[in-house]
Structure 1
Amino acid sequence: MTARGAPDWLTRWEYAHRGLHGPGVPENSLAAARGAIAAGMGIECDIQRSRDDHPMVFHDWELSRLTGEGGLTAQFPADAIEALRLLGTDQRPVGLSAFLAEVAGQVPLLIEIKSMPGYDVERSCAAVAWQLDSYEGAAAAMSFDPRVPEWFAHNAPNVPRGLVGTDTLENGFQGVWRNPEALAQAEADFLAIDVRDLARPEAAAWRAGGRPLLTWTVRSPETRALGLAHADALIAEGGGLA
């Protein structure tokens, strides 16, 4: 397990989950990024990889929910994905390069790299790291897959790295964050834990060791109170519900 300290900025912000989105402002869009910046919030965003290995700021493995188009995100090149419309808006999916240019260091970023068991996630890590190499703002990479922070530990150690955890969401990595071998493999600087699982003793033990504990997704006064009591930073929807 790495003993290095996480950057101070990590716990000084509240983060807008997939940007500050809502009616007319789709998740992971440039408009959602602008909304978070205007609200003084950091931004959590998601990465899927296009067929030609571009990191796209897009949550789903499939295009349909967000664009109305059929097919897997990974089946299309970046320019074809960027040509789509996000449903009901004038916004389009964008690549990480455009997203970084929009944020331009105004607020910090938590970049969640999507993965699943058996997925060649190292290609996604390399694509993200290449773009972050010239980015001057605060940004961290994280994933449910412990191979992601492990990759950054060995190949881009200057990028803060986190392990995302859940015992509730069925995504192929349930409970992995509590496995001591997985934690050692990940060499994570921080954990970001499902708020529904935040009261687990492993989360408290991590935080008691002086390591940052973030929580997602805060969507109600009740989950806000839980997060404020047990975590160091919140990843929230709805403007933080303050």
Structure 2
Amino acid sequence: VALQSRLRQMPELFQAMHPTGPGHFGVAERGIIALVNQDRLRRILSKMLDENEFLSPYGIRSLSKFHEGNPYILHVNGQEYRVDYLPGESNTGMFGGNSNWRGPVWMPVNAMIIRALLNFYLYYGENFTIECPTGSGKMMTLFEVSKEIADRLSRIFLRNEQGRRPIYGGTEKFQSDPQWRDYILFYEYFHGDNGAGLGASHQTGWTGLVAKSIQLYGLLDAKRALEGGKQAAFKKGTK
């Protein structure tokens, strides 16, 4: 009722939203309420899945890498204000100074993106594919895109081909000391280019979401997701 009232007051919102209701049901007759229609979703994803913009080897960045060479600059009363792409620690005392939302990978944001992609997949199923990464020529369903992001998040914590965990960057004690190397810390956020852990080192509450994503894709595949809907994510069983 509240949504219908708002749409009557602001009919222009309806034009940008995803069509809903009779005649607009998706897979398994599922309905949808979404702020973006299919065209806008594709435009958003083309940027989000671009490795030169938001798609890091370790998840989705909080600001596009495009702004590394193209900062947003605003002049007010003779003073310059700017927003640059900063993949690591903040370079300013603004916003508290000890955290940075202008480039690094943040686990809670990525978790919400994964959830949104899965919701769209339950509606579109195999009928919606998108190039991932952008420019690669490889087409993926939204389920596959969500898993690709989850895999990149997991990569932060796993040893790479050189036997090093990206999370520990250049900290040799954590990389090679047998007394430390297998103890995983849950940092607050992660470097947007190399995956190194930054900020508080015991931010288990939201960075621990990576464990849930590993569990989710260990239990769930695309077929089960479409057949069982959201409840399939909470049911154990063979794929």
- Decide: shared fold, TM above 0.5: no
**Which TM-score applies when normalising by structure 2?**
0.24
Normalized against structure 1, the TM-score is what? 0.24
Q: When you count helix as a share of all residues, which structure comes out higher? A: 2
| Structure with max Cα Rg | 2
Normalized per residue, the structure richer in strand is: 1
